[in-house]
């Protein structure tokens, strides 16, 4: 699987907002209150931009957020409106493509094979309830899984897979990969991951979060001015 993807100039991307519309173009300092944790602060600490390649998917995700955070959102957005923003890439953008990964094991092995080492003591799986754990716990399992098939033992492979999957045992199976991909830029992870990718010439990464691809861009300099409409009674 190729892990490098060149996003061509002219591609349309979409994002939703449920607290307030984007202000002053692309604002890197805005932190949505619905994604701020009491003890860790804003999830999107680095001010990255998350967009979908599907307008429908952006609206569907917004609907789910409203359902899940209804009471909290009403204090900011009493009408529970959605602001849908459309933008277009103004230049080609080089991205790390994780959208084809089939599970967490595949995604982490892909990173290891790309020499993107997130398996360190300062890079975390964040958990409000059970506490955060460093990805360094998985280092030996990932190194083994990254070996060529002929050099791996079946029982050892099974053990390593279980260790990695159990690292995300607080999530349902279908949620493990999307959350693991999200967490690459959560909180303090964001600055580390951004630096690792930019050293390799990547301007962001792509992952499969729902029924469409999610594009995480570190900078908005290759996006057109956001065009936003408000949608009520979604």
Mode of pairing for the β-strands spanning 93-97 and 204-208: parallel
In 79-196, DSSP assigns E strands to 82-88, 93-97, 124-125, 133-134
Identify the bridge partners of residue 215 per DSSP, sorted by sequence position.
Answer: 51, 206
Q: Write the pLDDT tens digit of every residue in 106-152.
A: 999 999 999 999 999 999 999 877 789 999 999 999 999 999 988 99
Q: How far apart are CA 182 and CA 185, in angstroms?
A: 6
Q: Where residue 59 falls among pLDDT bands split at 50, 70, 90? A: very high
Residue 96 has pLDDT above 90, yes or no: yes
* Residue listed under structure tokens 């799986």: 125
Rounded-to-integer distance, Cα 162 and Cα 89, Å: 40
- pLDDT of 75 strictly over 90: no
Q: For residues 123 and 134, is the Cβ–Cβ distance under 8 A?
A: yes
Q: What are the residues facing 208 on neighbouring strands?
A: 213
Backbone angles phi, psi at 44, to 5 degrees: -90, 60
Give the other-Cβ count within 10 Å of 206's Cβ: 21
Tens digit of each residue's pLDDT (9 = 90 or more) over 145-202: 999 988 999 999 999 999 998 898 877 778 889 999 999 999 999 999 999 999 999 9
**Contact indicator for 66, 200 with CB cutoff of 8 Å:** no
pLDDT digits (tens, 9 = 90+) for 23-43: 778 887 777 877 887 777 889
Q: Quick one: pLDDT at residue 71?
A: 85
> Which helix or strand (DSSP H or E) is residue 231 part of?
strand 227-231
Cβ partners under 8 Å of residue 68, min gap 6 = none
For the chain, how many helices (H) and strands (E)?
A: 7, 12
- The pLDDT confidence band at residue 225, using thresholds 50, 70 and 90, is very high
DSSP class of residue 226 equals P
What is the distance between the terminal CA atoms of the chain, rounded to a whole angstrom?
38
CB 98 within 8 A of CB 110: yes
Number of domains in the chain: 1
**pLDDT top residue among 189 and 81:** 189
Domain span at 125 = 4-231
pLDDT value for 177: 92
Cβ–Cβ under 8 Å, residues 62 and 16: yes
d(CA 99, CA 117) in angstroms, rounded, equals 19
| Helix segments in 114-153, DSSP class H | 139-145
Residue 101's pLDDT band, with cuts at 50, 70 and 90, is very high
pLDDT tops 80 at residue 53: yes
What is the enclosing helix (H) or strand (E) of 208?
A: strand 204-208
| Residue 57: per-residue pLDDT | 93
Give the other-Cβ count within 10 Å of 9's Cβ.
12
């Amino acid at each position: 699987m190729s892990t490098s993807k060149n996003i061509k100039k002219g591609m349309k991307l979409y994002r939703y907002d449920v607290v307030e519309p984007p202000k002053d173009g692309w604002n890197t300092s805005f932190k949505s209150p619905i994604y701020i944790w009491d003890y860790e602060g804003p999830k999107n600490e680095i001010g990255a931009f998350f967009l979908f390649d599907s307008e429908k998917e952006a609206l569907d995700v917004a609907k789910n957020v409203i359902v899940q955070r209804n009471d909290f959102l009403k204090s900011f957005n009493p009408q529970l409106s959605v602001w849908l923003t459309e933008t277009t890439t103004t230049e080609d953008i080089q991205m790390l493509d994780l959208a084809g990964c089939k599970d967490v094991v595949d995604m982490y092995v892909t990173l290891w094979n790309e020499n993107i080492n997130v398996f360190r003591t300062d890079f975390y799986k964040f958990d409000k309830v059970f506490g955060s754990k460093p990805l360094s716990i998985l280092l030996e399992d990932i190194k083994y899984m990254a070996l060529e098939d002929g050099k791996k033992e079946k029982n050892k492979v099974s053990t390593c897979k279980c260790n990695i999957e159990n690292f995300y045992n607080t999530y349902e199976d279908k949620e493990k990969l999307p959350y693991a991909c999200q967490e690459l830029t959560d909180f303090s992870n964001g600055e580390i991951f951004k630096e690792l990718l930019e050293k390799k010439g990547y301007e962001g990464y792509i992952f499969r979060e729902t029924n469409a691809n999610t594009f995480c861009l570190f900078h908005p300099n290759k996006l057109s001015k956001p065009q936003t409409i408000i949608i009520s009674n979604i």
